[in-house]
């Protein structure tokens, strides 16, 4: 199912109030597996490709190998922070695009937190490895609130993540401009709305608002729910099961991520960065119990290595 702009329908079947107000029929339920391709192993490698948005979040090692011929697809790479497990795949990814047989000149935009030493190190490394090469890359330093357009109706916006670093660390959300009936006209009948629009113009009855279609916290303590409110899809750090296992306040627990998703009323939550200390066969039932008891009603998945595991 494709919308006119090429964006797939969301991957959930729980229409929100906004969807009703839009008068849009969200009948198509694209599979999450068709939307996200990624890898998550804390301290080893982390990256996620949102395919309909052609957006990569982070660039951990192995990225270009996993993408294969799709290495030319992403148009924007958004780096959340300068830690190696989110960055070490960037030179290889860039080189595969440039020296492989494909779209060698396809432009790439890399957005990253302003003043990140890790990103600057990757740039220097690329410049020294390939001194005569002009990579078609635009580098954009971001601060919380900064935006980069993604096509005509969407923008990538940075927000502050809580990763305890002296350097800036960021999460990202993709905001889509949508139209709806002005809330103060909700009591009018369809005919009354139509008459008013004919008399005063469409702008007199319609509002433009922005809806979060995708949000990614990067590595972070629980983010304020307002930063990800009503997102169709939220990817949240969920490193720990028990807050007592957390030595430094730089990562969230599964329970905290679920609480953010519940309070923000997101449709689909993907947990990532789950610590390798947990034996999976033993732990997944516990995670499923936490999901079931959390009060969060949406879809819930875990990205674990390259697998997306349904937690419902
Ligand atoms: Zn980190």
CATH code, domain carrying 73? 3.60.15.10
Residue 11 lies in a domain: no
Task: Reply yes or no on whether the pLDDT at 147 is more than 90.
Answer: yes
Domain boundaries, position 258 = 29-310
158 CB-near residues (< 8 Å, 6+ apart): 78, 111, 113, 142, 143, 144, 145, 146, 147, 170, 171, 172
Selected residue with higher pLDDT from 128 and 19: 128
Q: What is the pLDDT of residue 8?
A: 40
d(CA 254, CA 291): 8
Considering the chain, what is the average pLDDT of its residues?
89
pLDDT per residue as tens digits for the range 209-254: 999 999 999 999 999 999 999 999 999 999 999 999 999 999 999 9
Ligand 1 centroid–CA 51 distance in Å is 23
Residue 266 lies in a domain: yes
Q: What is the pLDDT of residue 34?
A: 83
Ligand 1 centroid–CA 81 distance in Å is 7
Q: Give the SS3 label for residue 276.
A: coil
Residue 17 lies in a domain: no
Pairing label, strands 45-50, 55-57? antiparallel
Please state the rounded mean pLDDT for residues 110-122: 96
Q: Which two tokens stand for residue 12?
A: 């959930």
Residue 247 lies in a domain: yes
Ligand 1 centroid–CA 208 distance in Å is 36
Ligand 1 centroid–CA 206 distance in Å is 42
Ligand 1 centroid–CA 165 distance in Å is 9
Selected residue with higher pLDDT from 31 and 24: 31
Task: Reply yes or no on whether the pLDDT at 140 is more than 90.
Answer: yes
Residue 96 lies in a domain: yes
Ligand 1 centroid–CA 267 distance in Å is 26
Task: Reply yes or no on whether the pLDDT at 9 is more than 90.
Answer: no
Q: What is the pLDDT of residue 32?
A: 85
Question: 259, 163, 165, 139: which is closest to 217 by C-alpha?
Answer: 163
pLDDT per residue as tens digits for the range 185-220: 999 999 999 999 999 999 999 999 999 999 999 999
Residue 2 lies in a domain: no
Quote the percentage of the chain above a pLDDT of 70. Answer: 90
Q: What is the pLDDT of residue 21?
A: 30
Q: What is the pLDDT of residue 165?
A: 84
Ligand 1 centroid–CA 201 distance in Å is 50
pTM comes to 0.88
> How many domains, the chain?
1
> CA angle, 305 as apex, 292 and 86 as ends, to 5°?
110
Q: pLDDT band at 16, cuts 50/70/90? A: very low
Q: What is the pLDDT of residue 30?
A: 55
Please state the rounded mean pLDDT for residues 36-42: 94
Residue 23 lies in a domain: no
Residue 137 lies in a domain: yes
């Amino acid at each position: 199912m494709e919308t006119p702009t090429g964006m797939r329908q969301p991957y959930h079947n729980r229409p929100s109030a906004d969807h009703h107000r839009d008068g849009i029929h969200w009948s198509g339920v694209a599979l999450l597996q068709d939307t996200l391709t990624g890898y998550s192993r804390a301290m080893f490698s982390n990256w996620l490709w949102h395919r309909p948005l052609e957006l990569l979040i982070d660039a951990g090692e192995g990225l270009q190998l996993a993408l294969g011929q799709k290495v030319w697809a992403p148009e924007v790479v958004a780096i959340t922070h300068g830690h190696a497990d989110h960055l070490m795949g960037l030179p290889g990814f860039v080189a595969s695009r440039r020296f492989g047989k494909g779209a060698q000149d396809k432009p790439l935009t890399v957005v990253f937190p302003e003043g990140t030493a890790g990103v600057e190190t990757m740039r220097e490394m690329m410049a020294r490895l390939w001194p005569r090469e002009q990579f078609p890359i635009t580098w954009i330093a971001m601060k919380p609130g900064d935006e980069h357009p993604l096509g005509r109706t969407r923008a990538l916006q940075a927000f502050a993540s809580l990763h305890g670093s002296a350097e800036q660390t960021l999460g990202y959300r993709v905001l889509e401009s949508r139209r709806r009936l002005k809330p103060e006209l909700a009591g009018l009948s369809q005919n009354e709305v139509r008459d008013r629009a004919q008399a005063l113009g469409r702008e007199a009855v319609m509002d433009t608002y922005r809806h979060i279609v995708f949000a990614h916290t990067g590595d972070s303590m629980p983010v304020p729910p307002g930063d990800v409110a009503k997102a169709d899809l939220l990817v949240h750090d969920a490193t720990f099961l028990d807050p007592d296992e957390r030595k430094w306040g730089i990562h969230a627990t599964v329970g905290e991520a679920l609480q953010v998703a519940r309070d923000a009323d997101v449709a689909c939550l993907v947990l990532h960065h789950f610590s390798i200390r947990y034996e999976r066969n033993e732990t997944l039932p516990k995670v499923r119990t936490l999901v079931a008891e959390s009060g969060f009603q949406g879809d819930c998945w875990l990205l674990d290595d390259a697998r997306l595991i349904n937690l419902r």
